[in-house]
Copies of this chain bind each other. A is one copy, B any other.
Amino acid sequence: MKSKAVFYHAGCPVCIAAEQNIAIALDPERFDVEIVHLGDAKHRVAGAEAEGVRSVPALVIDGVAYHINFGADITALR
């Protein structure tokens, strides 16, 4: 069974770079990667925060948040 990975971003340049180089780099045999733009999908912000996301871009793998560089604080996206 594949693991679930969610890449949260907000369309910022730092986010796009991370998306194109990290999110896309995950092994498709092992991960279902969902890309979520929190600027567009505001209803996903609370869920991201509950998973531990404090800033974007962030990658959540199996429920654990990894912050990749720093684009924007999630409080700016609520």
Interface residues of A (CB under 8 A from B): 5, 17-18, 21-22, 25-31, 59, 61-62, 64, 66-69
Contacts and interface: CB of A to CB of B under 8 A. Distances in A.
A67 B68 contact: yes
Contacts of A22: 22, 59, 61, 66
7 contacts: A18-B66, A22-B66, A25-B30, A27-B27, A27-B28, A67-B68, A67-B69
Contacts of A25: 5, 26-27, 30-31, 61
Contacts of A62: 21
A17 B31 CA distance: 17
Contacts of A66: 18, 21-22, 68-69
